Amino acid sequence: MSDDRLIVALDVQNAIDGLKMAETLGDTVSFYKIGLGMLTGGGLALANELKGEMGKRIFLDMKLFDISATVEAAVRGLAQFDLDFLTVHGDPHVIRAAKEGASGTNLKILGVTILTSLDRADLDECLIRDGAVPDLVIDRAGRAFEAGADGIISSPQEAAAIRALPESQGRLIVTPGVRPAGAASGDQKRIATPASAISNGADHIVVGRPVRDADDRKVAAQAILDELATL
């Protein structure tokens, strides 16, 4: 049985490969993430097919960032596709504009805090203000919630502290950077296992390469579901 706490990232080249992967996983997976990497490869068409033809839930990971009017217009256009989650940067003006664009629909706006592939050295290079990464993530999460975000994206290592924020009540925490025990971390720097991410307060975990690159994708996804079932 599927469990929509698991979101599988369709990090493949195009919609044809994405559809094949979804067909292989079948009823095991009910929720998929489609990101920027597939935008020019038919990502929106795939989202519509998975949603309309296969009854899957869809997380569109676009991480939108622009002036308010542009974000609002972009989100209004995307909201017509009846998707479930959409990411934007967690800056308050972006969140407010995205919520306005999604008004009247069921689309949930998720604010990105700090990418799970970044550490303090990366933030220094980008001239981001001083402070420990977890503290900055928690601060950005709180501001995103105050601006109206339906949820936030953070690494599983910060999930517990974000869940402790009063503003997080009734909001979603979605955690990428999740790796089953023994899996390679790849370019992710702030990771945790599926069970620990959920135990720390995440509502959904996003898993990509450990399923995509497995010899048997369905078996890999089922192993994660079995781990979640123990909670």
Active-site residue flag, 20: no
Residue 178's DSSP bridge partners are 192
Comparing CA positions, the residue from 225, 188, 227 lying closest to residue 28 is: 225
Q: In the prediction, which pLDDT does 181 show?
A: 62
d(CA 192, CA 158): 10
Number of helical H runs and strand E runs in the chain: 10, 8
Confidence of residue 183 (pLDDT cuts 50, 70, 90): low
d(CA 101, CA 109): 10
Q: In the prediction, which pLDDT does 231 show?
A: 83
Is the pLDDT at 138 greater than 90, yes or no?
yes
Residue indicated by tokens 């407010």: 96
The structure tokens listed for 181 are 């025990």
Catalytic one among 63, 99, 108, 218?
A: 63
